[in-house]
Structure 1
């Protein structure tokens, strides 16, 4: 039996005031185009898509086993309907363990869990001189290394430092093989960033963070992104990136989209948690290494949406940056939008943008734990 919800429905063609009917997929959207400001009904938006998730609910992706399922459930209660479980730079055996767990979660979605689309391999193919909060296990790679890892879990995104020896060729090989390559954790120059894009790289990992910055005579990787990128991810927790830098990127990168870079501390009280092999501290609204370095976040995608609106984006634009653009980046036309035939991944929000309901592939997700995990 199909479900139906009434309200202000955000479709690819604009707002519709009416009813959306669905089971696993959306069967119909009926009503008329209308400005939501003209009524007081709920907003119905595409479910959020997070392509950079390290943890949540006290669990870390690098633990392997069932940890990813707990993480997927925590983020589902904040409106994330699809996600990529993200690895850390680590010894090979740790990465294998993590990917085995991701592979199991990707093969079958459990009740109340976000759909795990696969893995974002953030490490280890990065520059040891720009680790950020990554442990010191960075190394270069060859195509055979990546293909071996792809057998453990579907690798949907791979972060690469393009300046390392052999990595420009690797970027092309991975792109030719159908994998999305992102530039990140890099000491590369502007020219090396442009060369990586020309070799098939498509995006940038947490823009501005852990990469060479913009200077008017040395534009760096940030300059390459601002000048040439169509897609890039960023962390809108308002700690990782200053609002002014976010606004500059919004003017330059057409499909700038949000990620949380969330850690095991997400949804948990202040205290010590694990991020890969490192101990991190949740404090002062963020997550930090003992030396104060930011180490991921406690951000959730519903808060990311509210932060974007708080920066002055209209709700439709903000919604695209937490859903549709990420889906398009991965080549998923049946996700990230509300239209007949697409998956019934949707969120219902009140007029203050607080979550009222989440549906994942048509399944209602219990939000009872949302308030306690904020």
Structure 2
């Protein structure tokens, strides 16, 4: 049993002061600091007046620390896991790209293996498959050579690993793929890299899509005569991923999105690629050369190619650019992704009985400590 004192505890309803947080692998108790002497604790961490927060969960991340999910190696996932723990991430979905079937299968096989072991940092919860079921028109930084129509057979062997699939529903005839996924799996279907009309998007949502991939990016925009995918997201209750780096989306839009969708339907993601945490220069994503300069990652043709955003920076950006309370901004990177994955009974907030996935950060959102299932990893 361990304890944290002298911190401001961020719960899903507010901020709690003068409390002692007691935990093992799970969160055991929130007691009064005055009662410290009553507990036999092996270790007491002093938060020194900083914030104690639930750990962040990144549902969409390709790489970091010079490594990529598509390397298809356990060593690469270990590097990613241990790079992002420094940014307060305690769990994540390594995200695949539109590449050859063999490369995707190899990546998914390694992700499956990584789910069972301790990587020393953030825990792997499963995979986010971004492509190959996308529309070439909105491919973004995905390679067009390997784009295919949605196929249940393609993913069938990895139903237990895949948590999210990004797809262009207009490429799914009669929505056969969407319907089969809904019938046979618990996989979340997300609209993204798509040229769908408003009507096509709404129909796909009615048939089972519940999520949208990096809203505003790689999808049909909102026009008053053609509401597009954005119009469908705004006019339905599906959740949306947001890259809050102020590059992919203008910061004024953070508040607009919050007013339309509400704080419970926005999930902060990084969409980070291998250059995350590294210096500017030439990197790669999905087999394509990426130039990282001045905080952004772009292909040679200037197309944005993922990001080098960190999740603690995303929380800071949305908090400073909106009228959200701090605990609401934090929930967008913790409780909301946990709810999307239906693991909010175990993760996502500081509640008794949940996993002790905890972080301590200062007023500038610099992460000082990261604890995964009760063990200090950073």
Q: Same fold by TM (over 0.5)? A: yes
Aligned-pair Cα RMSD in Å: 1.5
Match of 1:19 in 2: 20
Aligned partners of 2:12 and 2:331 also within 8 Å: no
Aligned partners of 1:114 and 1:360 also within 8 Å: yes
Selected match of 1:300 from 304, 307, 310: 310
SS, match of residue 115 in structure 2: helix
Selected match of 2:204 from 196, 206, 210: 196
- For the pair 1:270 / 2:277, whether they are aligned, the reply is no
Residue by residue, what CA displacement relative to the aligned partner does 1:283-305 show, whole Å, maximum 9, x if unpaired? 12110101111100000111111
Q: How many angstroms does 1:3 deviate by? A: 3.4
Aligned length: 356
- For the pair 1:117 / 2:125, whether they are aligned, the reply is yes
Aligned partners of 1:65 and 1:100 also within 8 Å: no
Distance 1:96 1:12 in 2: 38
Residue by residue, what CA displacement relative to the aligned partner does 1:51-75 show, whole Å, maximum 9, x if unpaired? 0010001001101112111111111
Distance 2:325 2:125 in 1: 28
Aligned partners of 2:221 and 2:229 also within 8 Å: yes
- For the pair 1:163 / 2:170, whether they are aligned, the reply is yes
For 1:1-374, list aligned pairs within 5 A: 1-17=1-17, 18-31=19-32, 41-66=49-74, 67-111=76-120, 113-136=121-144, 137-150=146-159, 154-166=161-173, 168-176=175-183, 177-254=185-262, 255-312=265-322, 313-333=324-344, 334-366=346-378
SS, match of residue 7 in structure 2: strand
The more displaced of 322-331 and 237-246 is 237-246
- Segments of 5+ residues of structure 2 without an aligned counterpart are 34-47
The more displaced of 14-23 and 140-149 is 140-149
Aligned partners of 1:262 and 1:298 also within 8 Å: yes
Residues 1:10 and 1:31: Cα distance change in structure 2 (over 3 Å):
farther
Distance 1:167 1:275 in 2: 32
- Segments of 5+ residues of structure 1 without an aligned counterpart are 33-39, 367-374
Distance 1:343 1:211 in 2: 36
Aligned partners of 1:80 and 1:301 also within 8 Å: yes
What TM-score results when the alignment is normalised by the length of structure 2?
0.91
SS, match of residue 101 in structure 1: helix
